[in-house]
Amino acid sequence: MTEPKSSQNSKSDKPAWQKSIDLPSERGASRLVMDELLDNLGEHGWASADIFSIHLAAEEAIVNAIVHGNKLDKGKKVHVVCFVSSTVARIEITDEGDGFDPTDVPDCTQDDRLEVPNGRGVMLIHNFMTRVEYNEKGNHVLMEKVRDA
Amino acid sequence: MAQYRRIGVTNNNDVAIVSFNDKKILDEASIQELGAELFGLVEQHNMGDILLNFTNVEFLSSAALGKLITLDRKVKASKGRMKMCNIRPEIFEVFQITKLNKVFDIRKDEAEAMTAFS
């Protein structure tokens, strides 16, 4: 039997983790993937502040897909694809709803909206991730965080 | 004193000091329950001054932010004061990004917050 080659930098040796899962459109369904995602970020050496950011972005995007995209319709699924390596974390989320225009979301930091209790999820996602892209319909989001060197 | 599931409440010089039982405030049902318990402090127990101590909180979602905003409005409407303390850096960043650090009175720790109330 061949021993795995040892390395000074164990981070880069860890194979990337990928998972693809369909979540039901019900509140709390994000937990079906979240714990595993967070565990894998930790195992790939991500810092706790980055794990917090990715956790928040993923949670907000999945809740948006379930509640605003699929409107809690039990007949619809939210498709989630995760990829985690020691340098990149990528999450793609697709719902079966009509989509939305991310440029239409009002700016929650304007003085007259500061005290409105909702509408902060999309802004947090953009601030915490390196790259955020929506498809034209607006029912698919790709979020990527690149680890700082 | 009422029975709470999501928060712990102690009274110090007429300031209700609130701690959170959940490390992660993200589950929708828990957030609804948390909101009801927090609003009850103002609406049922007529607490004027409230200090939210976030020592135990590692994560909170935007839905939880919504409850804090509504609580702040209720406290202000009843002429009370609300302050927050012991917020970890990651959560403070959430407040900064959303500019809620301008809305909320955020203090370093309980001692500093209590001095500000007096």
CATH assignment of the domain containing B71: 3.30.750.24
Which position has the higher pLDDT, B81 or B1?
B81
- Residue-averaged pLDDT of chain B: 95
How close is the nearest chain A Cα to the Cα of B113, in Å? 22
How close is the nearest chain A Cα to the Cα of B23, in Å? 13
This model of the complex carries an ipTM of: 0.90
Phi, psi of B54, deg, nearest 5: -95, 15
Structural domain span for residue B34: 7-117
Q: Is residue B2 part of a domain?
A: no
State how far the Cα of B25 lies from the Cα of B30, in Å rounded to an integer. Answer: 7
Which position has the higher pLDDT, A3 or B104?
B104
Quote the number of domains for chain B: 1
Please judge whether A117 and B103 are an interchain contact, meaning their C-beta atoms are less than 8 angstroms apart: no
Per DSSP, helices labelled H in chain A are 10-13, 31-43, 48-64, 121-128
CATH architecture of A16-146: 2-Layer Sandwich (3.30)
Task: Quote the pLDDT of residue B24.
Answer: 95
| Angle (CA) A143 A64 A77, round 5° | 90
Q: Is residue B1 part of a domain?
A: no
- The domain limits of chain A are 16-146
Task: Quote the pLDDT of residue A102.
Answer: 86
Task: Quote the pLDDT of residue A117.
Answer: 81
> Tokens 């039901």 map to which residue?
A24
Per-residue pLDDT tens digits for A74-125: 999 999 999 999 999 999 999 999 999 988 888 989 988 888 888 899 999 9
- Considering only CB atoms, A117 lies closest to which of B61, B69, B102, namely B69
Q: Which amino acid is at A55?
A: H
pLDDT higher than threshold 60 for residue A51: yes
Which position has the higher pLDDT, A117 or A61?
A61
State how far the Cα of A36 lies from the Cα of B2, in Å rounded to an integer. Answer: 37
